[in-house]
Amino acid sequence: MVQISLTLSVSLIFLTVHRVETPRCSPPEMLQKRVTHALETELLAFHQADKDAPAGVGEATTLDLKTMQGKWLCEASEESGKVIDKKVVKGQDQRLSIRGGNFMMTRLYAEKIGAYSGKFEIDATTGHFDFVGKSPTGKLVKWVGIYELDRDSLKLCYRYQVEGKVTRPTTFKSDDGQPNVCVFHTYKRERVMVK
């Protein structure tokens, strides 16, 4: 939609700058014909681009992102190859909120709430995700990871991009094999309780 709007506004500017005289139409009718033609041309190009895309790629990613929308509560966690005790996980009260392409993860740490927030992009064909945002201290943070979505369950396994080229995890298990910390979380969808 954005591409259509941008192109249309450029077409409208072009149409108002370059006036072609047609003896049978009044100026408002000419403008209307040009606008209609520009719209038809842009819509055809837009639909052709959809046809040229691999079948279902965009649809699957859109569907997964739509399904991820909302709030999630962390149930299990691993970091650098070590499973974190369930009581510790519960005490951290780690929550995840996904709205559109915006991602926010909060948790308690030393009796304070810290938040990672930024942009979240997924690819349903590969199960990959990338996050770029800010840490609780305001520093730039990047993660490369994999995800698995099953209705009300979401798994995220990722590596912090701190030093050099980061290797994306390939399994849902953290490790301590490189300087970039690897983390694995399992979330359950939070249900809104209606009173």
Residue 60 has which token pair? Answer: 């699957």
The model's pTM is 0.68
pLDDT score at 16:
35
Q: Which two tokens stand for residue 95?
A: 């929550």
- Least confident interval from 73-87, 127-141, 161-175: 161-175
Residue written as tokens 């938040």?
115
Q: Does 188 score more than 60 pLDDT? A: yes
Residue 71: closest CA among 95, 92, 100, 89: 95
Secondary structure in 3-state letters for 53-72: CCCCHHHHHHHHHHHHCEEE
**Structure token digits, residue 57:** 């790629």
pLDDT at res. 163? 72
The mean per-residue pLDDT over the stretch 158-165 comes to 83
- Cβ-proximal residues to 6 (8 Å cutoff; 6+ apart), any chain: none
Please write the tens of the pLDDT for every residue from 13-55.
Answer: 333 334 444 456 566 565 555 544 544 544 444 344 334 333 4
Whole-number Cα distances in Å, 127 to 14, 64, 65, 120, 157: 43, 10, 11, 13, 11
Torsion of CA 141, 98, 91, 184, to 10 degrees: -60
Q: What is the rounded average pLDDT for all residues in the chain?
A: 77
Mean pLDDT of 92-121: 93
Contact 125, 113 (CB under 8 A): no
CATH fit for domain 62-189, picks 3.50.50.60, 3.40.50.720, 2.40.128.20, 3.90.226.10:
2.40.128.20
Is the Cβ–Cβ distance between 136 and 159 less than 8 Å? no
pLDDT > 50? residue 63: yes
Q: pLDDT at position 4, please?
A: 34
Q: Which residues of 18-46 are buried (b: 16+ CB within 10 A; e: fewer)?
A: eeeeeeeeeeeebeeebeeebeeebeeee
Residue 172 to residue 55: CA distance in whole angstroms: 28
pLDDT digits (tens, 9 = 90+) for 163-184: 767 889 999 999 887 678 899 9
Confidence of residue 157 (pLDDT cuts 50, 70, 90): very high
Residues of the chain with pLDDT > 70, as a percent, come to 68
Q: What pLDDT, on the 0 to 100 scale, is given for residue 58?
A: 87
pLDDT at residue 154 tops 60: yes
CA distance 3 to 101: 19
Q: Is the pLDDT of residue 99 over 80?
A: yes
